[in-house]
Amino acid sequence: MSDSDKENGVQYFEGVEKLLEVWFKKSDGDNKSCDLRNIPRQKWEGLLKIVRCEIISFVRNDHVDAYVLSESSMFVARRRFILKTCGNTTPLLCLKPLLLLVEQYAGYDEVEDVFYSRKNFKRPELQLAPHHSFEEEVALLDTFFNDGAAYCLGTINRDCWYLYTLNRIHNNQNKLCCGMPKSIDEGLHEPDQTLEILMSDLDQRVMNVFTKEFSSTAAEATQKSGIDKLMPNMVIDDFLFEPCGYSMNGISKNGCYMTIHITPEPEFSYVSFESNVPQSSYKEVIARVLETFQPGKFVLTVFANKTSIAAGTPRELENTVSFGPWMRHEIQYCRFKNYDLTYAFYSKFPS
């Protein structure tokens, strides 16, 4: 994992991920024979070559296939596709071939919802097209989705978070360039939620665990750091890179997932935590993650739809001005047609 520039003599790596999530459905409502997991492994490998990464490890259960990649992770469930990649990968270039594969092998003919998000890059000039800027990413996404909407939350001159999603306002069906029609219905009906914590300026005593100098295996790093205790009842698939860096996926029997990715170098340390485990309150989970990694600052986002038990998260976070030494600087709330989104930024105040 390497980028083509150096920072303070150290090979720079962009830990910030680009996160693409797509939900599919069948226009006639008969989804019984449709499944994204019907797409052959070699087709996924070909798709990931376009993205500039490859599969390192794989676990699955009855609900989800989870892939650890050379640059982060991919999750494939029956109708949900998640691709999360760091470095100078190009995930949006996979959209057209993805839609063709879904139509050919999975049986779906409509995109139900799309989410593309990321924190601002530390070194955007090292990214490859179409990821030089959020405006460029939006321009490409708009060629697929007529009713896409782009947002920026946070302070655009410091730490911020970008989101592109569907904001359907038309009553006619629109066509994607690959020929798959786009859905205009009420969207997702099953409970759904996602917690993401994007951490920077990490404690180097913690980050040392994720180097080959301090941990000989991924399992050792997982146990030493306490990652194995963050979410109980998860089957963990982890990988420790040479000479440093760490990725893990965790999946539970009910299909929920957890994923963590760590760039430990002190010049550009970064850790991301993401999970869709349903909780009526995320305060304890967030506190455990912060205690584990000790970031200097972090961006927090929570998505929850109307039927999720996490639907009360905006009110909870509005009342949470701090997590121990981490003080909240800003909080923003967005209500979309099917989802509510809460964004917050915290940093550690001096002890």
Stretch 299-318: mean pLDDT: 93
| Two domains, one topology: 9-182 and 193-348 | yes
Domain layout of the chain by residue ranges: 9-182, 193-348
pLDDT > 50? residue 295: yes
- Beta carbons within 8 Å of 263's beta carbon, 6+ residues apart: 13, 15, 86, 245, 269, 270, 271
Using one digit for the tens of pLDDT, what is the confidence trace for 171-229?
434 344 444 544 434 444 689 999 999 999 999 999 999 999 999 999 999 999 999 99
Cα distance between residue 41 and residue 234, in whole Å: 24
Compute the chain's Rg from CA coordinates.
Answer: 19
156-160-164-166 Cα dihedral, nearest 10 degrees: -100
- Beta carbons within 8 Å of 98's beta carbon, 6+ residues apart: 22, 47, 81
Cα distance between residue 199 and residue 300, in whole Å: 9
| Cα-to-chain-centroid distance, residue 293 | 18
Please report the pLDDT score of residue 276 as a whole number: 97
* CATH 3.30.230.10 applies to domain 193-348: no
Model confidence band, residue 28 (pLDDT cutoffs 50, 70, 90): confident
Task: Say if CB 13 and CB 3 are below 8 A apart.
Answer: yes
**Catalytically annotated residues:** 14, 17, 72, 86, 247, 261
What is the per-residue DSSP string for 57-110? EEEE-SSEEEEEETTEEEEEESSEEEEEE-TT--GGGGHHHHHHHIIIII---E
pTM of the model: 0.93
pLDDT, averaged across the chain: 92
Stretch 36-52: mean pLDDT: 98
Model confidence band, residue 8 (pLDDT cutoffs 50, 70, 90): low
Instruction: Give the count of beta carbons closer than 10 Å to the beta carbon of residue 57.
Output: 16
Using one digit for the tens of pLDDT, what is the confidence trace for 239-277?
999 999 999 999 999 999 999 999 999 999 999 999 999
| Bridge pairing between strands 64-69 and 55-60 | antiparallel
Using one digit for the tens of pLDDT, what is the confidence trace for 328-346?
999 999 998 889 999 999 9
| Eight-class DSSP state of 290 | H
Question: What does the block give as tokens for 122?
Answer: 């530390």
The Cβ-side half-sphere exposure at 122, using a 13 Å CA radius, reads: 20
Please report the pLDDT score of residue 187 as a whole number: 45
Question: What letters, b where the CB count within 10 A reaches 16 and e where it falls short, cover 136-151?
Answer: ebbebbeebbbebbbb
Cα distance between residue 327 and residue 315, in whole Å: 17
* CATH 3.20.20.70 applies to domain 9-182: no
pLDDT > 80? residue 7: no
The residue that leads in pLDDT, 292 or 167, is 292
What is the per-residue DSSP string for 197-208? EEEEEE-HHHHG
